[in-house]
Amino acid sequence: MSDPSGVLHLRNLGLREYGPTWRAMQAFTEQRDEATPDELWLLQHHPVYTLGLNGDIRHMIRTTDIPVVKTDRGGQITYHGPGQLIAYVLVDLRRKNLGVRGLVSALENAVIGLLEQYGIVAKARRDAPGVYVDDRKIASLGLRVRKGCSYHGLSLNVSSDLSPFYAINPCGYPGLEVTSLTALGVAVQPHEVAAPLTVEIMQTLNYERVIPARG
């Protein structure tokens, strides 16, 4: 059997509801074994607020019609919606010899590298995972590890409507401002960002090739 550690299987899932996608990630992680290749799921979500495992609902500072889902990732409350590119990373951390902090750093560096391609200088913050441009958050991270394997991942604001963020303290930080690629003057859509982000993730996580997932 060939070594799966250098191969990343890619799924482009389009626009999806949050709940069924979350359950699919859980099922994939529960059923995988040491021979299962890692997967990267790229998608957008219908509007939803998600609250991390130990999240505080008091960070929802204004009621809206957007549903709130309590999920099993780390972190506080955030918003997902059309125009935001989601990258779920289903990685065998033991096989990659990675800890959670190493995976977070790799994903942050992938986004930083992507933004650099568009002439945007971004940085990570040790005290608050994610990627920032001039102290405005452009990408959020939240992960779960089960059986030594990760799921959930990152969300990058590409052409998002940012107004739903005004109803929350993003990621639990009162007054934290958010931004997007289009707000920074880069007129792109999530599908245009998907390929370069995949390449950046492939490089930061040391995969040799990316192939479409089957099934």
Q: Which residues are annotated as a binding site for substrate?
A: 73-80, 140-142, 153-155
Annotated binding site, which residues?
73-80, 140-142, 153-155
Q: Say how far apart CA 113 and CA 85 lie, in whole Å.
A: 15
- What would the two tokens of residue 105 be? 């750093």
H helices of 6-85, where? Answer: 18-31
Catalytic-labelled residue, pool 51, 171, 178, 181: 171
Q: With contact defined as beta carbons under 8 Å apart, do 92 and 34 qualify?
A: yes
Q: Which segments within 23-128 are labelled E, that is strand?
A: 38-45, 48-51, 68-70, 77-80, 84-90, 123-124
149 is catalytic: no
Q: Say how far apart CA 150 and CA 152 lie, in whole Å.
A: 7
* Residues carrying an active site annotation: 171
